[in-house]
Chains A and B, each alone.
Chain A
Amino acid sequence: GAVVSQHPSWVICKSGTSVKIECRSLDFQATTMFWYRQFPKQSLMLMATSNEGSKATYEQGVEKDKFLINHASLTLSTLTVTSAHPEDSSFYICSARDDSGGLGIGGQYFGPGTRLLVL
């Protein structure tokens, strides 16, 4: 099946620094990718929809200046958490929709997630 990778899988940083997370679709093209955040014992919350070549669409309550998204190619989207604080510590998961229609119109392939710990 199609594979989505994320890098890094784990990151620990100091408060005030910025962290970049990469999401790659390895064997398919993805015009649209999604970024989710998951806190312990909670469900996934969609943060933003990333579209190749255009600005990301953020969900209500998500600060676009804090969570910068760049979708520079059909296989790569990046999420940068700027000036990270301890409350940003979470599990960040990306997903990608296969442009060829795999999994149907609503299907997404998910990455393994990135665990961020801000000290």
Chain B
Amino acid sequence: DAKTTQPPSMDCAEGRAANLPCNHSTISGNEYVYWYRQIHSQGPQYIIHGLKNNETNEMASLIITEDRKSSTLILPHATLRDTAVYYCIVRSGTSYGKLTFGQGTILTVHP
């Protein structure tokens, strides 16, 4: 599976949009981009995933560049409860399900 690069930390003001970038320049055609987050001392939580089209659900939006080498997770109106470690993971649609977690981005939402 392709490797991802994320900034180690980001800050965001409450109520503002949080834009979390992820670089996956070695992604191949059958690899999906997944985003999970982990709030302190809890198990990770699925946020969203996509292949090449932009995606939106009740939690977030995922914007994937046309060349698919990078993506951005957007939390439209961040709240204090969105403070967490956000993981961008790229994995093949043909592998048997393993997720490899990198170091992620620590997002801190402040009042």
Complex contacts, A45 vs chain B, CB 8 Å: 101
* Count of CB-CB pairs between chains A and B under 8 Å: 68
Which residues from 37 to 58 on chain B have a C-beta closer than 8 Å to any C-beta of chain A? Answer: 38, 41-46, 49
Partner of B98, one of A34, A91, A93, A113: A34
Which residues from 57 to 111 on chain B have a C-beta closer than 8 Å to any C-beta of chain A? Answer: 87, 89, 91-93, 95-104
Q: State whether A110 and B98 are in contact (beta carbons under 8 Å apart), knowing that A104-B49, A105-B93 are contacts in the complex.
A: no
Which residues from 17 to 39 on chain A have a C-beta closer than 8 Å to any C-beta of chain B? Answer: 32, 34, 36
What is the number of residues of chain B that contact chain A, defined by CB distance less than 8 Å?
26
Complex contacts, A104 vs chain B, CB 8 Å: 32, 34, 49
Q: State whether A113 and B97 are in contact (beta carbons under 8 Å apart), knowing that A103-B49, A104-B32, A104-B49 are contacts in the complex.
A: no
A93 contacts B44, CB within 8 Å? yes
B44 contacts A34, CB within 8 Å? no
A-B contact pairs, 5 of them (CB 8 A): A43-B87, A44-B101, A93-B44, A105-B32, A106-B93
Does residue A77 face the partner (Cβ distance < 8 Å to B)?
Answer: no
Which of A43, A106, A112 has the most B CB atoms < 10 Å from its CB? A106
- Whole-angstrom distance between the alpha carbons of A46 and B44 in the complex? 13
A97 contacts B97, CB within 8 Å? yes
Partner of A110, one of B41, B44, B104: B44
B104 contacts A106, CB within 8 Å? no
Complex contacts, A91 vs chain B, CB 8 Å: 41
CB nearest to B44 among chain A residues:
A110
Does residue A49 face the partner (Cβ distance < 8 Å to B)?
Answer: yes
